[in-house]
Every structure is written in structure tokens, then in C-alpha cells.
Amino acid sequence: MAMMSRTRDLLMEGFEGFVREGSFKWALPRRGEDGDDEDPDASPSSGKRASVAALSAKANAVVARCARILEVSIDDLQKDFDKQASDSLKQQTNYARNFLEYCCFMALAQISQVAGYLADKTFRRLTFDMMLAWEAPSSSNQISVKVEVDSTVSLEAFIRIAPAIPTVADVVTCSNLFDVLSNSTGGRLSFSVYDKYLSGLDRYGYVMMFAFCHAEVKAVALCKIYKVYHGTYLGLSICFISYRAIKKMKTQSESSLLSSIRSQRGERILEIDGTLTTQPVLEHVGISTWPGRLTLTDHALYFEALRVVTYDKPKAYELAEDVKQVIKPELTGPWGSRLFDKAVMYKSTTLTEPVIIEFPELTGHSRRDYWLAIMSEVLYAHSFVRKFDISGVDKEETVLKAVLGILRLQAIEELGFPVPIRYESLLMFNLCDKLPGGDVILETLARAIASRTSDRSTQAGTSRGMHAVLSNLGVVSSVNNGERLFVGEVVVGEMSSLQKAVTDSMNNYKKVELAQASVDGVKVDGLDTNLAVMKELLSPVSELWRVLIMLSSWDEPIKSMVFCSLFSYIIIRGWVVYFVVMVLLFSATFMFLTRLSNQGKPMAEVKVASPPPMNTMEQLLAVQNAISKIEELVQDANIVLLKIRALLLAFPSQATDRAILALVLMALSLAIVPTRMLMLVMFLEAFTNKSPPRRASTERWTRRLREWWFSIPAAPVVVEKDKEDKKTR
């Protein structure tokens, strides 16, 4: 422990000044606990104006605190904004909100440099006040704010302010996170819930404050390790571990084998399971099953089988490298049965057979869903890194985005917030995989990372001023790009390209959800009922097919003659393509006119006559008959394939000779006869073979063809049993 203390002192010595500069002296209260009684006229700098006339009282209080954080006067802050902002941002209608956003983003960027900022309740109150001020930034609209919502925050305010603090939220999952936090408060976020969430993040999720450095060290050393890339400080502790994982390892030490494997790549432990006898984890490989401890890092999944008193050598299941991994839910059960939906299957090119990891629990499969989500998040993050060739500090930032998302999910679970949505919706890369247009979000994110890399390289070696300091931690920067004023991934006064991509995708997802809800609502139970619905839906096609059969049978010769003459003329003139075009245009016109006539009207329901009810025995017999018919169809298809095989191998001589002759004639016809004439011949053959002049000859040729087919023997088949011994342990 003495060695650990000396190491920690050496690591922190070079950064003491940096942390002291960002200490929480600005947060010493000149205000009450709720932050509403701060005097906006109290100037942070003597002789300087302490308020802005265009801002509301709440907004002025927030701006004053931002100025103290940045150690500048409000006048200087406003002059700096007026200098950098475009004319559109300085219009009177939106000036108050745009200036407030600028001050908030600048202050939050500097606060985020301070170690342990989430633990300070003054910081939590300040960020909540920023959201309240954002809803009523102007002095002209503060009176219109309702009293009952004055102490709660809307979704719009949350998604503007919260993503500026990378630990608290990200742009992609911000709206879903708000839905979870505001689920119990009627769709608006109260300070008590927000404060509880940030406290949980500080306690359960701030992974960058913990290091588990050696297997023999039982305690968790509180240290923070930095690595420098061109003047950018990024937390890169070689062995981060989350508080949730620490709790589960409280009575067990990390195995030296796993520690040595992790230390090679500096892997961070994110989650551990299987340490409690009441919540075991089982690994199924073939017919063998072993309980053990499951560990997830930001690079791989490790399973340590439990022996008598110790853990076996850890098995590594790679998530970072491209080995064609597949992770999906799986069913398990005794003796290979598929009964319980509580497992995850992992397979890759490095494994001879898939591995199934089961998470037993009495009811539901929430443990499995949670592990499936966090495993997939790590896998998708590294897939994103490989796809867009991201490396260096940008790669670390990208993986850190996935890590922070997992830690936010852990904090929400530990604090007992009800999660009405799937776990995947709170994890950025999982959500992008599920959302329509998620690939566009990832492409936009990749462009933002590339742009930030370019800015970082061009600004290397420049002086660290009020704006240069925003690039710390590789998370935010302030860049004036033409008409747009960027602060990190957020644009002052408007949505960034990433936010626009997320908004468009979310809007499309809502449409998909509505469509899926309609799909779930029309599903019916019972094979007979589903067949009745299908029969009713296919009735127009069935009617068209009945008409074509009637015309080809020549039961009404006049109609059949007109039909054959018309289509023969179309084929001879080469109008087949135009006929298809007319059919498509007619369909489009019909849909357009139907849409105009049905505007505002509900969609007409499909009425289906209910089939007679069947008891259980009748249903079993119906299923058995259906299976028997399917088996007969498969047998007939196999016989056809075996006869074709016999023909190709020239087994029956006479039948093969006729087949060869027919193939030669077909080849010559295709080579010599024009395509238009071939189409005409095939059409006339199909629609005139039952006409009165050809009926007798058609029956005779059909009989001869049937006799020829029956004379072809099937190729022999031998079914061999699998003699390979199953693997056992």
C-alpha cells in the first residue's frame, strides 16, 4: 500500500495546479440552496455591469455564475459573444437564449476539467438552473412561465444543456434518458430526481476515478492518470474499474491470470456477474455446463469457470478485434432443449462452436437483456472504430463514449429508476444500430471526430486562453465556423449536424413505432383464423387467377379469342414494356386518388368471416394433417430433383436421348428465332392448348409427357448416420 501511495502522489503531483485552478471556489454559495435568491447585481468584478437587460432574473443569475467560473466579467463575456457570433445569432428575438447557451457551454467545458465535479451539489444545482433559465431566458417572457412548471425542466431544455456534460448525457440517447428520469414526474424533470441521478453517477459510474492496478492490492486506489496528445489531456487510466464491479468483487480478489491478460491492453473492467450464489452465470459449450464468473471489459468478455475453491484460467471472448463476432439472445434448457429465454450466444471465427452464457433467474430475463445490451455496446463501439479507421486519442474517446453510456445505465439501475424502455435505447451505439437512419448518425459522428482531430492538430502549441481550455479531455472545443458558433458537439443557437441527424432518426422511429403497433394489433391466434385472414387478403389475386384460368380453358370462346388476339398483337408490336408501364402508372394513379378521397378517414377494416371453432383435439389433428401435407410436398420435390440428377448423369438411356434432343432444339430456337416470336409462341401455347381445335392433341401430348416422366428412375440415396463422437468433459 505504501508503494501505491507513492505512485499516486507522483501521478498527481504534476496536475495539482491544474486541479486547483478548476477547484470549486466559484461554487461557494452567495445564494440559497435553491439558487433563486442570488443577487444579480452582485458584480464578480468591481466596476463592471452585473446583469444583462435582455435576460430574465434566472438567466442573469446563471450568467453571473458562469462569469465567475470563467473568471471574467459579464461585460467581457458579452463582448466576446458579440464578436464571435453571427448576425443571425444576435437577432433580438433569440439573443437572450443564444447568449445564455454560449455562457453555459463555456462554463460547463471548464467545470468538466475538475476532478469529482459531480460530487458537488452546487454544480448539480447550477446545471439545473441553466435548464430552467433556458426555458425562460428573456426578460419579456419570464412572466408567462407557469408557476407549477417553474421548478421542473422540459425535454427541450434538457437535450440542449445536458449533452454539454459528457458524463451526464450524450446527444444520441439524451431524449430517452430524459424519458426515464421524468417517467415518475409527468414528463418534466424535477431537481430531486436530477440530483439523485447525478449523485448516482458520481457514486456508481464515475469510472475515471478508480484504478484496480494489481491483483494483490485489495483496496481501490483513488488516482487519476493522464496522457497528453498535443496539449489535450485525456483520462487514460490503464485499468479503470467501475464502482458496481468493485462492489461485486468486495469479497473476492481479481485472479492474477485475468489481471495479466487485461494489463496488456489496459482494459477497463465495466461489469462482473456470477460472484453471488443467488445469481449464478452458466457457460454452455456443447453438452457441458459450468458455473463461473463473467467479466466484461472495454475490449473483451472473460469467463472464469468455478472449480472447487478457485477459478479456472479465464477464457477470453474478443469484442475489439474483427473476428466476425455474433452476439444474440438464445434459448436454453436441460439436455439441449430450448425452453428458457435467459441466455446469450457468442460465436466467432476463433471458436469451433458457439458459446452460450446463461443468466438464470426466477422470472423474466432482465439480467440477460442487460448483459446483451452492454456486450453489444462494446462490440458496436469497436466496429465503429474499425469502420471509420479511428485511431489514437479519437479511438480512446469513442470507446469512452460507450463506457460512459454503460456507466449511466448502471447508475440508473442501482438507483432503482423504473426503465419503461429497452436497455439498448440508453446506449449510443446500440441505439444507432436499431434506429432507422442510425448509420447516418454514425457517419455524422465520424465526420465530427475527424473535424475535431483536424482542429486539434492545427491548434497544437497555441496559447491556452479562455477558449483553448475547452479542448481539455478531448470532449469540447469552441470554433466559429462561418455562420455557426460551435462549442464541442453543440452549436449555439441551433442544432448541430449530429443533433439534426438524431432528431430526424427519432422522428422516423416514432413512425416505425406507430406502424409496428398497428402490426401487433392485427395479429390473430390460431392457424385456421390466420388462413382465413390470408384467404381474404388474397381474394383480389385469387379472382384475377380465376379469370385467367377461365380464359385459358376456353369455356367462353369469344372472350378467350379477344384476349388472345389482343395480347398477341401487343407482343407482335413490341408493346410489352409499355403495357407494364401502363399497369404501374394505373396503380400509382389509383393509390393517389384513393389517398385524396380518404383524407381524414380511418382505414377501412378487413372483414373476415370467423372459421368454426375447433377444440384442442381438432387443432392437433389439423396440425398433424398440415405437417403430413408438407412432408408429401418435400418428398415430391426431392423426387423431382433426383430424377433431374439421373437425367444429367445420363442414367436412363431412352429418356436421356429425348432430353438431349429437346435441349438442342431449345438452344437452336433461342439462337435463331427472334425473342418477340418466342414470346408469342409461348403465349399461344399456354392459352390455346385447351381451345377446341387443339384439345385432343393437347391431351395426347400431355399423356405422352407424363409417361416419359414416370419412366425416369430416381437417383439412389443413402442416408448415413453421423459417426462423429460428441465432445464431452
Cα-flanking dihedrals φ and ψ of residue 302, to 5°? Answer: -125, 135
pLDDT digits (tens, 9 = 90+) for 174-204: 999 999 999 888 889 999 999 999 988 887 6
Alpha-carbon gap, residue 128 to 189, rounded angstroms: 10
Mean pLDDT of 646-669: 84
Higher pLDDT pick, 117 / 446? 446
216: three-class secondary structure by DSSP: coil
Burial environment of residue 182 by CB neighbours within 10 A (0 to 12, 13 to 18, 19 or more): buried
DSSP character at residue 373: H
Q: What angle do CA 565, 567, 571 make, to 5 degrees?
A: 115
- Which pLDDT score is estimated for 44? 42
**Rounded to two decimals, what is the model's pTM?**
0.76
Round to whole Å and give the CA distance between 79 and 85: 10
Confidence label for 132 from pLDDT (cuts 50, 70 and 90): very high
pLDDT at 214: 30
Query: Confidence class of residue 233 from pLDDT cuts 50, 70 and 90?
Result: very low
Task: Check whether 216 has a pLDDT greater than 80.
Answer: no
Q: Are 229 and 393 in contact (CB under 8 A)?
A: yes
Percentage of residues in the chain with pLDDT exceeding 70? 78
Whether the predicted pLDDT of 46 surpasses 60: no
Whole-number percent of the chain with pLDDT over 90? 32
CA-CA distance, 509 to 505, in Å (whole number)?
Answer: 6
Q: How far apart are CA 223 and CA 589, in angstroms?
A: 70
pLDDT at 260 (0 to 100):
67
pLDDT value of position 605: 81
pLDDT the model gives residue 555: 86
* Average pLDDT of every residue of the chain: 79
The answer to whether 296 and 207 are in contact (CB under 8 A) is no
pLDDT digits (tens, 9 = 90+) for 576-598: 899 999 999 999 999 999 888 88
What pLDDT was estimated at residue 23? 40
**Which grid coordinates are listed for 502?**
438524431
Question: Is pLDDT at 209 greater than 60 in this prediction?
Answer: no
Provide the pLDDT confidence category of residue 253 given band limits of 50, 70 and 90. Answer: low
Q: Which of 123, 81, 87 has the alpha carbon at shortest distance from 103?
A: 81
* 429-435, Cβ contacts within 8 angstroms, sequence gap of 24 or more: 429/376, 429/377, 429/380, 429/381, 429/384, 429/401, 429/402, 429/405, 430/373, 430/376, 430/377, 430/380, 431/172, 431/173, 431/176, 432/172, 432/380, 433/376, 433/380, 435/505, 435/506, 435/508, 435/509
> If pLDDT is split at 50, 70 and 90, which confidence band does 715 have?
confident
Average of per-residue pLDDT across 547-557: 88
| Res. 723 pLDDT band, cuts 50 70 90 | low
| Rg of the chain, C-alpha, whole Å | 35
Question: Which element (helix H / strand E) includes 558?
Answer: helix 557-573
Q: Where are the alpha helices (DSSP H) in 388-526?
A: 392-415, 428-434, 438-458, 497-521
Distances (CA, A) of 628 to 614, 621, 632, 640, 655: 19, 10, 6, 19, 32
pLDDT at 710 over 60: yes
Lowest mean pLDDT among 245-254, 337-346, 467-476: 467-476
Residues contacting 49, CB < 8 A, separation 6+: 43, 73, 74, 75
Closest by Cα among 292, 385, 286 to 335: 286
Residue 35 reports pLDDT greater than 50: no
pLDDT at 485: 73
Q: Is the pLDDT of residue 229 over 50?
A: no
pLDDT at 471 over 50: no
Q: Does the structure show a pLDDT above 80 at 659?
A: yes
pLDDT digits (tens, 9 = 90+) for 403-440: 999 999 998 988 888 877 789 999 999 999 999 999 99
Would the pLDDT of 526 be above 50? yes
pLDDT in tens, 326-375: 999 999 877 767 788 899 999 999 999 999 999 998 888 899 999 999 99
Is residue 245 predicted with pLDDT exceeding 70? Answer: no
- Bigger pLDDT: 616 vs 10: 616
